[in-house]
């Protein structure tokens, strides 16, 4: 890697790469801009260095572990470099340079692992390459402030993309359907674009620019449109315009916030760091500002299930992490984590340093207060290395709060499909196998503990599997079925998406096995299952894909290249794929049972 970096340095002009000295140890000596994992170079962050010259792709090709390259805010000119030869890249940042010319349509064709493409603020022209919009893992796309023209190509995997900006180009025509999740700011500054996002109807003729003049001249027609031509009303119009602009800004901010929260529900979920807000607690609780001593007294009294004026404080059901009360939670700074099928989730860090997740559940009224307490205490007593045992709860008729420990590595969903850098990079085969085994053990434990429940877990999916520091999986959000309202059950719990429930409203422990199968296939293929989405848009129908490939004898093609490349464990991966397929059998009678799954998984050893 060092030699390659020196070769690369020679192709640059300018910049201050003085500590790039051959033999000094690029990773050991922390060469400027060089990111490493152990002794391997994984990223180049060469931003703001006034670099020009060439980007020596042959040199970069020698850095086998290279995953990300940033040349942001330099002075590179000419065509886009041949980065497409680096097929392992996850992220390309070329923003704020003077790259120009068009990018070949098939440029990104072999870059299936790319997640982030930032080409904004350059002078690129021509069409947006089709291959870019077909990338299966694309999450962030920034092309703003260029001269891209023509129509926007359809987005093949819209559910993956959470950050998109095509503004300030010369794009034209109707915005394709796959982009509907984004708002107008992602497209503004393209005079020829039209479509419902921009509130600008497309006529099917060519006269798009005429339309543009109309719509930009009165964007707030619906708000202040009446009588706007009269000179005598200039003042009123000015005030109206200001109000309208403020109104629009509020709408845009709210829409963006909402979209971000929606995105969390699809692909969890980088904490929204800037959205620091208090954990909202019921009025009755927040009216009195109790002293800490009072708070802990109340917390202690509430352990016994007591209440004050009909409103209970937090009820601790598991004191392994210490005691805390509602006051402690209220004082904690909180961040939105996501908005799932059961409600919203917040992270709160309390003054003693304990970080917890608070889930606000709205549709959990099946049980009265006492029965709910019994259920929660039962959950609080569970101890298993693969179970996330809740710490506390708060009961109100309209809303329940469930508090659990915060796991810094986050959910398996995010570690697998989001960009967690080194955390993702560590998902090698032995780690993935350990995760699969842990999930199966945890589920088996839940099946024993809640054997009498219609469906013991009910909501097994990768967003409800958290990872510990050591990549041990912890199952959360289980055994909610007896507490949840029927509408929440049907819409919010993943087991209710199993084929037998969709077909004939049957649910059983085998529905959990189906969910386990999806997770196993997700871990081995590295693909985001379409089954997690409500609208069926995006992701991959992982069950169908696996079945077809098994039938066509092409099982190895299913394996995530990140684990199959150069591995001598392909046989084990194939075995696990077959187990995943056995778990996702459409007919529950033909599907594997929980114990069979455990036995089969235990036979697979690293
Ligand atoms: N204990 C935890 N530690 C760390 N992150 C968590 C924890 N619990 C939840 N999260 C994060 O918060 C996100 C939102 O969780 P939430 O449970 O609200 O949504 P979900 O899992 O997508 O859907 P559902 O409501 O069906 O469980 C999760 O995807 C996960 O990334």
- In this prediction, residue 291 carries a pLDDT of 34
Ligand 1 center–CA 337 separation, angstroms: 7
The answer for residues whose C-beta is within 8 angstroms of residue 458's C-beta and 6 or more apart is 478, 479, 480, 481, 489, 493, 494, 495, 496, 511, 512
Which residue's C-alpha comes closest to atom 26 of ligand 1? Answer: 341
Ligand 1 pocket mutation, candidates 162, 346, 464, 489, criterion most atoms within 8 A of CB: 464
* Confidence (pTM): 0.57
Which residue's C-alpha comes closest to atom 14 of ligand 1? Answer: 338
Dihedral of alpha carbons 158, 161, 165, 170, sign: negative
- Cβ of 467 below 6 Å from ligand 1: no
Which residue's C-alpha comes closest to atom 2 of ligand 1? Answer: 406
Ligand 1 pocket mutation, candidates 159, 318, 321, 340, criterion most atoms within 8 A of CB: 340
- In this prediction, residue 203 carries a pLDDT of 78
The answer for residues whose C-beta is within 8 angstroms of residue 306's C-beta and 6 or more apart is 312
What number of residues does the chain have?
A: 606
Ligand 1 center–CA 523 separation, angstroms: 18
- In this prediction, residue 574 carries a pLDDT of 95
Ligand 1 atom closest to Cα of 405?
A: 1
Phi and psi at residue 276, to the nearest 5° = -90, 120
Dihedral of alpha carbons 189, 195, 201, 206, sign: positive
Which residue's C-alpha comes closest to atom 31 of ligand 1? Answer: 411
- In this prediction, residue 552 carries a pLDDT of 85
Ligand 1 pocket mutation, candidates 354, 411, 487, 494, criterion most atoms within 8 A of CB: 411
- Residue pair 403/314 in contact (Cβ under 8 Å)? The answer is yes
- In this prediction, residue 264 carries a pLDDT of 27
pLDDT in tens, 348-388: 998 888 999 999 987 888 888 999 999 999 999 999 999 99
Ligand 1 center–CA 473 separation, angstroms: 14
- In this prediction, residue 373 carries a pLDDT of 94
- In this prediction, residue 372 carries a pLDDT of 93
Ligand 1 center–CA 362 separation, angstroms: 15
Q: Alpha helices of 218-291 — where are they, by DSSP H?
A: 221-224, 234-266, 283-286
Which parts of the chain sit beneath pLDDT 70? 159, 204-312, 419-421, 423, 535-539, 606
- Cβ of 462 below 6 Å from ligand 1: no
């Amino acid at each position: 890697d060092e030699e390659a970096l020196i070769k690369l340095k020679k192709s640059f002009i300018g910049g201050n790469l003085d500590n790039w000295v051959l033999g000094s140890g690029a990773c050991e000596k922390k060469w400027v801009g060089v990111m490493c994992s152990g002794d391997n170079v994984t990223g180049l962050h060469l931003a703001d260095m006034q670099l020009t010259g060439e980007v020596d792709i042959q040199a970069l090709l020698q850095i086998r572990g290279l995953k990300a390259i940033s040349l942001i805010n330099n002075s590179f000119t000419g065509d886009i470099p041949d980065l497409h030869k680096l097929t392992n890249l996850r992220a390309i940042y070329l923003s704020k340079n003077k790259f120009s010319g068009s990018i070949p349509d098939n440029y990104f064709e072999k870059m299936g692992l790319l997640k982030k493409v930032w080409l904004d603020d350059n002078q690129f022209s021509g069409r947006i390459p089709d291959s870019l919009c077909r990338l299966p893992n694309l999450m962030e796309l920034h092309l703003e402030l260029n001269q891209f023209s023509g129509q926007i190509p359809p987005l093949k995997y819209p559910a993956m993309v959470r950050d998109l900006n095509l503004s300030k180009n010369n794009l034209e025509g109707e915005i394709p359907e796959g982009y509907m999740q984004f708002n107008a700011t992602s497209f503004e500054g393209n005079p020829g674009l039209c479509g419902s996002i921009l509130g600008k109807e497309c006529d099917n003729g060519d006269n798009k620019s005429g339309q543009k003049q109309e719509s930009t001249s009165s964007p707030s027609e619906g708000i202040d449109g009446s009588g706007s031509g009269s000179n005598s009303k200039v003042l009123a119009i000015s005030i109206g315009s200001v109000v309208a602009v403020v109104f629009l800004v509020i709408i845009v901010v709210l829409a963006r916030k909402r979209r971000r929260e929606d995105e969390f529900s699809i692909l969890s979920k980088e904490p929204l760091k800037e959205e620091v807000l208090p954990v909202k607690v019921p009025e009755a609780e927040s009216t009195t500002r109790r002293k800490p001593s009072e708070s802990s007294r109340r917390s202690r009294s509430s352990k016994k299930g007591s209440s004050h004026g009909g409103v209970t404080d937090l009820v601790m059901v598991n004191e392994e992490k210490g005691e805390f009360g509602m006051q402690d939670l209220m004082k904690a700074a909180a961040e939105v984590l996501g908005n799932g099928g059961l409600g919203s989730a917040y992270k709160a860090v309390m003054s003693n340093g304990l970080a917890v997740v608070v889930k606000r559940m709205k549709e959990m009224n099946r049980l009265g207060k006492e029965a709910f307490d019994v259920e929660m205490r039962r959950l609080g007593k569970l101890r298993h290395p693969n179970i996330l045992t809740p710490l506390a709860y708060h009961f109100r008729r309209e809303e329940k709060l469930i508090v659990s420990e915060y796991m810094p590595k986050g959910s398996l969903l995010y570690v697998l499909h989001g960009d967690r850098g080194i955390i993702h990079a560590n998902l090698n085969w032995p780690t993935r196998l350990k995760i699969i085994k842990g999930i199966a053990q945890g589920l088996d434990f839940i099946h024993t503990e809640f054997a009498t429940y219609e469906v013991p877990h009910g909501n097994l999916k990768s967003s409800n599997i958290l990872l510990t520091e050591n990549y041990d999986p912890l199952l959360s959000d289980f055994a909610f079925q007896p507490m949840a309202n029927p509408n929440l059950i049907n819409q919010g719990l993943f087991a209710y998406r199993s084929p037998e429930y969709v077909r004939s409203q049957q649910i059983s422990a085998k529905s959990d096995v189906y969910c386990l199968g999806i997770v196993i296939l997700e871990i081995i293929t590295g693909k985001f299952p379409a089954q997690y989405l409500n609208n069926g848009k995006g992701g991959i129908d992982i069950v169908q894909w696996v079945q077809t490939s098994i039938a066509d004898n092409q099982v190895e093609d299913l394996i995530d290249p990140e684990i199959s490349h150069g591995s001598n464990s392909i046989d084990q991966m194939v075995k696990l794929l077959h187990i995943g397929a056995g778990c996702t059998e459409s007919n529950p009678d033909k599907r594997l049972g929980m114990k069979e799954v455990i036995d089969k998984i235990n036979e697979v050893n690293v």
